[in-house]
């Protein structure tokens, strides 16, 4: 007798629940602020960069972003880290990776090394970097993850500017 998988099958229901829970466990990264202020983002990125400079040696540290950067905070942070002397490997959007590879190989940007993980090259060296920025009213929360270390700080918006609302919290 051939059994069909139906919605009433307990194994099917358990599998669906596990798939849904697995999707919830994936943590999204980036900025979750509606209409982010460029000046607020710059101030917060400056504070994050200053803290990273205190914790990691600039000339000897490479950060590998775990997600694409598409917000003012992320762009300011990447620029600040590079100016401070850190190497930063940005994640290329998978939708545009073929386009980016063709442009890089086409000679428009000479002397740029392309990381070819699919060709058996080693994984990039450096520390994994990700961030989450969110807002609740006038309070902004910045959470930076560098490998297994989490840095967190709150900022408050006052008089058309943003200021730290407490000390850095570091969890390893």
Write the CA distances from 19 to 4, 9, 12, 26, integer angstroms.
20, 16, 11, 11
> Is residue 26 one of the residues assigned to a domain?
no
What confidence tens digit (pLDDT) does each residue in 22-33 have?
444 445 887 777
> pTM of the entire structure?
0.68
> Is residue 99 one of the residues assigned to a domain?
no
> Is residue 5 one of the residues assigned to a domain?
no
- Residue span of the structural domain in which 45 resides: 32-91+124-171
> Is residue 63 one of the residues assigned to a domain?
yes
> Is residue 39 one of the residues assigned to a domain?
yes
Q: By C-alpha distance, which of 156, 150, 151, 155 is closest to 168?
A: 151
> Is residue 109 one of the residues assigned to a domain?
no
The CA distance from 99 to 22, in Å, is 31
> Is residue 151 one of the residues assigned to a domain?
yes
Q: State the sign of the Cα–Cα–Cα–Cα dihedral 91, 97, 99, 100.
A: positive
Tally the domains of the chain. Answer: 1
Per-residue model confidence (pLDDT) at position 110: 41
> Is residue 156 one of the residues assigned to a domain?
yes
What confidence tens digit (pLDDT) does each residue in 42-99 have?
999 999 999 999 999 999 999 999 999 999 999 999 999 999 999 999 987 655 444 4
Share above pLDDT 90 across residues of the chain, in percent, rounded to a whole number: 51
Query: Residues 141-165: what's their mean pLDDT?
Result: 94
CB atoms within 10 A of CB 52: 22
Instruction: Tell me what the pLDDT averaged over the chain comes to.
Output: 78
| Angle formed at CA 167 by CA 164 and CA 172, multiple of 5 degrees | 130
Question: For the ranges 16-25, 110-119, 148-157, which has the lowest average pLDDT?
Answer: 110-119
**Residue showing tokens 């358990």:** 14
């Amino acid at each position: 007798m051939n059994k069909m998988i139906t919605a009433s099958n307990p194994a099917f229901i358990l599998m669906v629940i596990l798939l849904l829970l697995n999707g919830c466990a994936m943590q999204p990264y980036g900025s979750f602020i509606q209409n982010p202020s460029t000046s607020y983002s710059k101030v917060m990125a400056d504070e994050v960069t200053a803290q990273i400079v205190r914790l990691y040696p600039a000339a000897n540290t490479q950060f590998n972003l775990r997600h694409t950067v598409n917000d003012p905070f992320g762009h300011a942070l990447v620029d600040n880290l590079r100016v401070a002397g850190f190497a930063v490997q940005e994640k290329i959007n998978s939708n545009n990776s073929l386009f980016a590879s063709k442009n890089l190989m086409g000679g428009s940007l000479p002397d740029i090394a392309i990381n070819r993980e699919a060709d058996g090259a080693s994984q990039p060296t450096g520390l994994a970097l990700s961030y989450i920025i969110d807002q609740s009213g006038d309070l902004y929360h910045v959470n930076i993850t560098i490998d297994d270390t989490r840095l967190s700080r709150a900022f408050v918006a006052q008089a058309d500017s943003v200021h730290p609302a407490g000390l850095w919290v570091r969890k390893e």
